[in-house]
Amino acid sequence: MHRITVVGGGLAGLTAAITAAEAGVKVTVHEAHHTLGGRARTTEGPYQADEGPHALYTGGPHWTWLTQRDLVGPVTPVPAREAARLRLRHHGQLRRTPPFALLKLLRRGARDAPADTDFLSWATEQAGAEGARAAAHYSAVALFHHDPGILSAAFVQERLRRAARLPLEAHHPRGGWATLVDRMAARAWNLGVRMETLSRVDTLPTDTPVVVATSLPAARRLLRDDSLTWTGGRTALLDLALRGRRGDPFVLSDLDAPGWIQRTTAQDRTLAPAGEQLVQGQIPIAPHETRADGIARAEHLLDLAYDGWRERVTWRREALANGRTGAVDLPGTSWRDRPAVDRGDGVYLAGDQVAAPGVLCEVAFNSALTAVSLALGRHRSHRLDLKRA
């Protein structure tokens, strides 16, 4: 039986394993951590916080792939009363509605942005400097970059449109992303996939095709290929459990600088004990900034919108996501210019920083499907060539 080895047990690795196993291939997954999920892990205990913000966008092909296999599970809609608690910081003040200039960039019929121009320059021509800056900063929820305005206009526009689309595309699995990982792992197990945790791979096997579904830095070390690089972002993450108080915003988006605060228990009350709320902040930071700089900005946003939050804290966690938030495309580049999925000699890359389309985790899903398709197609072509010979 044809076999495939998958290195990495995150979303990309599990997608590759399930896809290959459904095609009748014998699959072994090696995961260096003691649990599966990669960056899609959720803390255990009374506070169930994901390791960084995640979202499933319903407009992507991965949503169809998951729903066809009954893997999405229950998701958490936004209650109408919570949707009305969106707050925006603009010119240092809290407001309930976005500036009109930003809305100009979201209107139906708005021009498609070019890939060879930076977003701030292009958007300024369309809506003025103020609207362009506000739009760039709002889009950071799907970018995790400290200066979205310098990125490809086409790249930012796609994420801005999807993050602001109504009804909302973004969905979250009830109980945190670990529940989605558990369903995917169970599917793989039932298909006969062998999953080995605490199994670090330092040398690639040569007797099977290999899908390397790790972060790009890990793939670079494993493959000893210094060309495996791409631009990413750095994000300070702050998770808080707060004693509940009526009137806390559901979302606070910073239009003066990139930053996003979200009360996740507004959608899913199971994430924290009764009477407490779980709040997650993500603040993109520049290369010269520290995690403390980002956390200080998050605390300033909380001071603006969450009355008395410091006295209400019952649990706190801080982290820095460095190069773990997906790829960003600079002007003149697109996803096609990122490291190719096919690395030759039966080695294939999958993950959120490789050459595959999509927003957020869609890139990981799409690259995993491409990797398996290429691996199986090459194997079948090779068998056909042998028969002809």
Is 79-167+234-322 in the same CATH topology as 3-74+173-231+334-388? no
- HEC-encoded secondary structure of the chain: CCEEEEECCEHHHHHHHHHHHHCCCEEEEEECCCCCECCCCECCCCCCCECCCCCEECCCHHHHHHHHCCCCCCECCCCHHHHCCEEEEECCEEECCCCHHHHHCCCCCCCCCCCCCEHHHHHHHHHHHHHHHHHHHHHHHHCCCCCHHHCEHHHHHHHHHHHHCCCCCEECECCCHHHHHHHHHHHHHHCCCEEEECCCCCCCCCCCCEEECCCHHHHHHHHCCCCCCCCCCEEEEEEEEEECCCCCCCEEEECCCCCEEEEHHHCCHHHCCCCEEEEEEEEEECCCCCHHHHHHHHHHHHHHHCCCHHHHEEEEEEEEEECCCCCCCCCCCCHHHCCCCEEECCEEECCCCCCCCCCCCHHHHHHHHHHHHHHHHHHHHHHHHHHHC
Domain locations in the chain as residue ranges: 3-74+173-231+334-388, 79-167+234-322
Query: Does the pTM exceed 0.85?
Result: yes
Write down the pLDDT at residue 383.
41
Please give the CATH number for the structural domain made up of 3-74+173-231+334-388: 3.50.50.60
Q: Quick: pLDDT tens for 183-205.
A: 999 999 999 999 999 999 999 99
User: In this predicted structure, what is the pLDDT of residue 384?
Assistant: 31
- 79-167+234-322 folds as Polyamine Oxidase; Chain A, domain 2 (3.90.660)
pLDDT score, position 388: 31
Q: What pLDDT does 387 receive?
A: 34
Residues of the chain with pLDDT under 70: 1, 378-389
pLDDT at 380 (0 to 100) = 54
pLDDT in tens, 332-381: 999 999 999 999 999 999 999 999 999 989 999 999 999 999 999 865 54
